[in-house]
Amino acid sequence: MTFLHGEVLWLLGAVLVLWVYLSFMAERKKSAVFAPHIWEQLVRKSSALGLQGRLALFNSAMVLMIIALAQPVIEQGKITIDEESIDVIVALDISRSMKATDLYPDRLAWAKKKIGTLIEKSEGMRVGVMAFAQQSFVVSALTSDADVAAYLLEHLDADAITQNGTDIDQLVDAAIAQLVNRPHKYLLLVTDGGDESSYEEAIAKAKEANLHIFVLATATSEGAPIAVEEGKYLQHNGTIVLSHLNEAIKSVALETGGSYIVSQRGDEDIETMLAHIGAKATKSAIDKRDITQYLQLFVYFLIGSVVLLLYAFSSLPPKGWWKRMTSMGAVALVLLFLPQESHAAWDDFRTIAKAKEAYEKGDYNQSTPLYEKLARENPTPERSYNWANSLYKEGNYEEAIKRYEAIDTNATTPTFAHQTLHNMGNSYANLQRYNEAVDAYEKALQFYEDNATKENLEAVRQALQEQKEQEQQEGDDKSQESQKPQDNQEQKSKQEQKGEKGEEKEGKNEEKSSDSQVSQEAQAAKKPYEQPKKEEMQESMNEEQTPPTQKPTSTLSQEEITDKEEAKVMRMLDSTHGTTYPFVIDQPHKKEQYAKPW
């Protein structure tokens, strides 16, 4: 057993001195040391405890209290923790154009205020501050101490800067040098865009060094004059120069994997920028720290001191006091073995470490029950989120949806709510429940506009439209198939009726032909030139009166299948093999970082 605050044990000497002093001083002096009502309890004669017994209990209680203050512990082992952070260099443009007054009071003061807000709101980040124009200067090295960085930024005096223009190329080199040993590098430019029309060289350097550049534009497209002195503005050939936002800087952010945001009133632009950095950045290990686990024992000594004080200041009858003392001792023993919150907290810490390790190794069968245990013992949005993500990774989308739905997104941060609803939409999409997926993605976009979520939403809408068209086509095909037997029956009955009428007409024609044969011969002798016409008319009449012959039905060959039937066959094949949509978290463009433990 060791003590975390061993210096407190020196008070035991004072207790010992007090004990000896009270034991040997005169009785009248004792009363001067204690308050009257306390002394009355100490000198009462009706108790089984004598005066010396009560003093012994009182001083023993003081000893136990001092030991409890020293915080006795038993060491249970050590855990190595990797400290992770997102390292971001914030570069402030201090060129002369930042003195333009399109932002109040000018661009430079506006930019400094925005950076101060960013440092204040940044969590899980180490921020370094640089100033640049034609050259770059380190204002504050990377630090997690927001107060230090904000103080150095506030006292940055840029009034003496007279450099015109900005050199983004040398700034990129300086930022890479500051982040040289880090696998993931991030640079935030707070600038009006400079005066270059192209930044291809800076973009190439950033890509080669894996430097992601974010841009917060602190200027307006309307522009404003540049103040050089009070009441005077920068002129060129007698004309006041207007400085505008150079939107060419936008390409630097978009082509290096960063984000471009135009600054505006309020903190929404900073919150959005922090959300973009958090969504696109990857934390890097910055240090390893050993944490020693202890079993806290102070509570036992504290309970013992309370029990002794109860005995010292109570009136115990001469008879039966041992039974009372035994019962109170039993209560004290029960209290001693009650589970302590500190012990439970350490158990949770170990469980979290095991769950995270299993999750990162891809052993979701182990991480899921551990996250479930944590979420059920102490339900929090973060624990429910981790449990749901582990279920998602297992492919248990139904249970993952239940866990996501249990999170009150309105009571969390916008970024956390967006990630929760995004992953819920992915789960619905994997189950091909596209209507619910659309609803989840739309809600996620209400908290935070994200390109990956928009892409998923568009893909799900397209899949939903195809699903509706397929169902409608299948319904039409079924109705046509049910209509075919009825049409065939009607056609068959019509053909039979035509056949009967044809037979009657044929019989009549035979009678007419025998009766008119003689007259036709006579007429032929008189007018031989009309005979061909009569014969042709008779033949055509006989042909019209001949009943049609019904063709036997047969199965269509492959060549005779219509386009419609062929399309139906293809749809049947698709539904047999199934269609897989890429709504999985482990794809980079589908928000892999959303699946990490919170």
The answer as to whether 511 is a domain residue is no
Neighbours of 416 (CB within 10 A): 18
Quote the domain boundaries for residue 373: 341-466+585-595
| 407 lies in the same domain as 347 | yes
Q: Which residue has the tokens 């240090």?
A: 287
| 97 lies in the same domain as 189 | yes
pLDDT score for 552: 41
Beta bridge partners of 295: 74
Q: Which amino acid is at 555?
A: T
The answer as to whether 221 is a domain residue is yes
| 240 lies in the same domain as 256 | yes
For each of the chain's 598 residues, which pLDDT tens digit applies?
A: 888 888 888 888 888 887 777 666 545 555 555 666 666 655 555 445 666 777 788 888 888 999 998 889 988 877 777 777 899 999 999 998 998 999 988 999 999 999 999 999 988 889 999 999 988 989 999 988 888 999 999 888 766 555 677 899 999 999 999 998 888 899 999 999 988 888 999 999 999 999 999 999 999 999 999 888 777 888 888 888 889 999 999 999 999 999 999 999 889 999 999 999 988 888 876 667 777 888 888 888 999 888 888 877 775 554 455 555 555 555 555 555 444 444 445 557 778 888 888 888 888 988 999 989 888 888 888 888 999 999 999 899 999 999 999 898 887 888 888 889 999 999 999 998 989 999 999 988 888 777 788 888 888 888 888 888 887 887 766 666 666 555 556 566 655 655 555 555 455 444 444 444 434 444 443 344 344 444 444 444 444 443 443 444 444 444 444 555 555 545 544 443 333 333 333 333 344 345 555 5
Query: What is the SS3 assignment for 136?
Result: strand
| 106 lies in the same domain as 146 | yes
Query: What is the SS3 assignment for 398?
Result: helix
| 116 lies in the same domain as 217 | yes
The answer as to whether 567 is a domain residue is no
The answer as to whether 373 is a domain residue is yes
| 305 lies in the same domain as 447 | no
CATH of the domain at 143: 3.40.50.410
Neighbours of 274 (CB within 10 A): 21
Domain boundary among 287, 305, 322: 287
| 326 lies in the same domain as 345 | no
| 113 lies in the same domain as 46 | no
| 412 lies in the same domain as 328 | no
pLDDT score for 416: 85
Report angle CA 91, 92, 94 to the nearest 5 degrees. Answer: 140
In the DSSP assignment, the letter for residue 342 is H
Radius of gyration over every alpha carbon of the chain, rounded to an integer in angstroms: 46
The answer as to whether 575 is a domain residue is no
Q: Which amino acid is at 176?
A: I
Neighbours of 296 (CB within 10 A): 17
C-alpha to C-alpha distance for 218 and 110, rounded to whole angstroms: 8
Q: Is residue 99 within 8 Å of residue 111, measured between CB atoms?
A: no
| 329 lies in the same domain as 400 | no
C-alpha dist (Å) from residue 64 to 70, 130, 331, 442: 10, 56, 18, 61
Buried b (16+ CB within 10 A) or exposed e, 354-383: ebbebbeeeebebbbebbbbbbeeeeebeb
Domain boundary among 307, 336, 365: 336
In the DSSP assignment, the letter for residue 412 is S
| 66 lies in the same domain as 101 | no
pLDDT score for 360: 85
Q: Is residue 428 within 8 Å of residue 440, measured between CB atoms?
A: yes
Structure tokens at 431: 């189950």
C-alpha to C-alpha distance for 253 and 69, rounded to whole angstroms: 56
Nearest of 422, 413, 469, 417 to residue 442 by alpha carbon: 422
Report angle CA 379, 385, 389 to the nearest 5 degrees. Answer: 135
| 6 lies in the same domain as 116 | no
Domain boundary among 253, 287, 321: 287
Neighbours of 229 (CB within 10 A): 7
The answer as to whether 577 is a domain residue is no
The answer as to whether 197 is a domain residue is yes
Nearest of 377, 443, 437 to residue 409 by alpha carbon: 443
Nearest of 210, 550, 594, 556 to residue 400 by alpha carbon: 594
Report the half-sphere exposure of 283 (CA within 13 A, side-chain side).
16
pTM: 0.46
Structure tokens at 126: 């180490």
CATH of the domain at 400: 1.25.40.10
C-alpha to C-alpha distance for 215 and 187, rounded to whole angstroms: 8
Packing angle of the helix pair 200-208, 168-178 (nearest 10 deg): 10
pLDDT score for 358: 86
Report the number of distinct structural domains present in the chain. Answer: 3
C-alpha to C-alpha distance for 399 and 386, rounded to whole angstroms: 13
DSSP alpha helix (H) spans, 432-562: 434-447, 451-515, 517-526, 531-545
Neighbours of 69 (CB within 10 A): 16
The answer as to whether 499 is a domain residue is no
Neighbours of 478 (CB within 10 A): 10
pLDDT score for 36: 64
